Structure 1
């Protein structure tokens, strides 16, 4: 394959044509890799089980919902567009440990992360991830 699969970039127009749930699918994976990498680098001697337990605190729908509520005022109009597109998408399922509103906000958060990742906006992703780490360290979720 000619393209470097780790460096796929799409135009915003291409991303706008994607299903918000497909963007959330990508965003979920990107966020999970960020969280796992961050935790493993910060807690090098922690057991894998304990790393997993800590990761769940970041990635569960309740936490993502709290994060996006605190981030909303930081979002640009186009970022808000993708968040709302994901939040309003009908997925057909709700996890047993989250209510519908939390799950929808979490889906919007993941859609936003997927959008930023696919257009290659690493600076903005780093800003948001730093915001999340600071929020977590202050007991914000």
Structure 2
């Protein structure tokens, strides 16, 4: 039986996933990291926990987080990031600019790629940098 918590795709399999597909996965990975971080750090409780999560997964916040880690990315990671940034998205939330939304999509694509490629520690290390205050 396959362990779906420990997915590890090959480079060829990862290349076969669209940038939107990677961002779709990365959106879930990023939100899971945020939810865990909030619980671990006791930042909020009850209804406040949900509101805190929303604030941290919004495109504006993700775009700001991405700026923190860009200098740390490898060439391969930068290529995935650029691929995600260039994804053709058709609807942008009113609270975010097109640039913010593109950067957030790039960040999500990167996190999706890292997760699906089995690079969970790298995703965790980058997330730590993003969450530093």
Q: Which residue of 1 aligns with 2:100?
A: 102
Whole-angstrom distance in 2 between the partners of 1:101 and 1:82 = 17
Structure 1: how far apart are the matches of 2:3 and 2:122?
22
CA-CA distance at 1:72 after TM superposition: 1.1
Inter-partner Cα distance in structure 1 for 2:128 and 2:120: 12
RMSD: 1.2
Question: Which 4+ stretches in 1 moved above 3 angstroms?
Answer: none
Whole-angstrom distance in 2 between the partners of 1:123 and 1:6 = 14
Moved more, 3-12 or 98-107: 3-12
Shift of 1:56: 2.0
Which secondary structure state, in structure 1, belongs to the residue aligned with residue 94 of structure 2?
coil
Q: What TM-score do you get using the length of structure 2 for normalisation?
A: 0.94
Q: What is the distance in 2 between the residues matched to 1:25 and 1:121?
A: 17
- Segments of 5+ residues of structure 1 without an aligned counterpart are none
Deviations, residues 104-125 of structure 1 (Å, cap 9, x unaligned): 0000000000000001112211
Aligned mates of 2:89, 2:78 — CA distance in 1:
19
Q: 1:129 Cα deviation (Å)? A: 1.3
Mapping of residues 1-141 of structure 1, within 5 Å: 2-43=1-42, 46-134=44-132, 137=133
Secondary structure of 1:93's aligned partner = coil
TM-score with structure 1 length normalisation?
A: 0.89
Deviation per residue, 1:60-118 (Å, 9 max, x gap): 10111111122111100000011000100111111121111100000000000000000
Return the structure number with greater relative CO, CA threshold 8 A, min gap 6.
2
**Structure 2: any 5+ residue segments left out of the alignment?**
none
